Amino acid sequence: MNVFAVVFLLVTVVAQFSWPSPSASPQPTPKPTPNPYRKLEFGTPTLGGGTSGNIAVLGGWVAVKRDGRGARACISFKNEGSITATRLLVLFPMMNRAGEQIAEVKLDRRGTFSPGIDIMGWHDLASWQSGSNRGYDENCQTLSLGVAAFPLLQARYATYRILRVDYADGTTWPPASPPSP
C-alpha cells in the first residue's frame, strides 16, 4: 500500500466521526463583578424640606463600601438667597435600621455659588461610577478607611444637614452669636 492510499484511508475514517467545533461548545457566562458600593436610602431630614441658610438641596445620595472600608456622599444644591455664597458645610449622617445615627461624612464645599444657579453633583451612584466630571466631584466627599468599620456595615439610611453657609459679604448662616458680656 502506498503512502497516498494510507493518507486517503485515514482521512476517510476520521471524516466519519463528528468532532465538536470549539465554537459549538457552550461557553460559561461570565458573572458580573459585584458593585463594591451599596447605596443607602437617602432623604430629607424633615417632612417639610425647606432651606437652611437660603440653600435648597436638590438631590443627593450616600453609598458605603460593602467591605465597610469607606463611603461616598454627594449633593446638588441651589442658593435661593440674594447674596453669593462662598462656602457650604454639609453633614451626611448615616443611620442603622433602628434610626440611630452611627456614622457621618462631612463635605466642606467652597466656591462661588451665585443666587438662582443649580450646583449639580452626581445624580446617583451609577452615574458617578460610569463617568468623569470634575465639577460634579467637587460636590462629593469620600471617606476611605484602612480597615472595615462596623458602623458602615450597619448603615441603611442617610440624610443631610447644612451646618454652615458663608456669604461673599462676610455674613454666615447660622449667624455668629455675639460674644457674651
| CATH number of the structural domain spanning residue 74 | 2.60.40
Q: Does 5 reside within a domain?
A: no
CA distance 5 to 18: 22
Q: How many domains is the chain partitioned into structurally?
A: 1
Q: Does 172 reside within a domain?
A: no
24-73 tens-digit pLDDT: 566 777 777 789 999 999 988 777 766 788 999 999 999 999 999 999 99
Q: Does 7 reside within a domain?
A: no
Examine the pLDDT at 175 and tell me if it is beyond 70: yes
Q: Where in the sequence is the domain holding 92, given as residue range(s)?
A: 37-164
97-149 tens-digit pLDDT: 999 999 999 999 999 999 999 999 988 888 898 887 778 889 999 999 999 99
Q: Does 15 reside within a domain?
A: no
| CA torsion through residues 109, 110, 115, 117, sign | negative
Average pLDDT on 9-36 reads 64
Helix then strand then coil, % of the chain, to nearest 5: 15, 40, 45
Q: Does 130 reside within a domain?
A: yes
Q: Does 20 reside within a domain?
A: no
Q: Does 10 reside within a domain?
A: no
pLDDT, position 2: 63
Nearest to residue 142, comparing CAs of 72, 75, 89, 76? Answer: 72
Q: Does 127 reside within a domain?
A: yes
- Residues forming a β-bridge with 62: 73
Taken as a whole, the chain contains a residue count of 181
DSSP string, 117-176: -EE---SSHHHHHH---HHHHTTEEEEE-SS--HHHHH--EE--EEEEEEETTS-EESPP
